[in-house]
């Protein structure tokens, strides 16, 4: 399974995934997180507009 759209927030140590549905896709987050450094947590965002706003905010800072 490939990674869904995501971005990394280094300050908060979060990986934010854009997952439109909820369950059961969210159950794959622990396996997605194996691709990222330890100590980071996976967060989901269902709204596409919110996801891109958050990503823009993280990228400008």
Domains of the chain, residue spans:
6-60
- Quick one: which H or E segment has residue 51? helix 48-60
- Determine how β-strand 6-9 pairs with β-strand 14-18: antiparallel
In tens, the pLDDT along 15-53 reads 999 988 767 777 888 998 998 999 999 999 999 999 999
Identify any residues that bridge with 8 across adjacent strands, giving them in sequence order: 15
pTM of the entire structure? 0.85
- How sure is the predictor about 1, in pLDDT bands with cuts at 50, 70 and 90? low
């Amino acid at each position: 399974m490939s990674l869904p759209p995501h971005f990394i927030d280094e300050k908060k140590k979060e990986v934010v995934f854009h997952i439109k549905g909820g369950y059961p896709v969210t159950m794959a987050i622990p396996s997605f997180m194996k691709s990222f450094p330890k100590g980071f947590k996976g967060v989901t965002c269902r709204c596409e507009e919110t996801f891109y706003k958050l990503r823009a905010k993280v990228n400008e800072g």
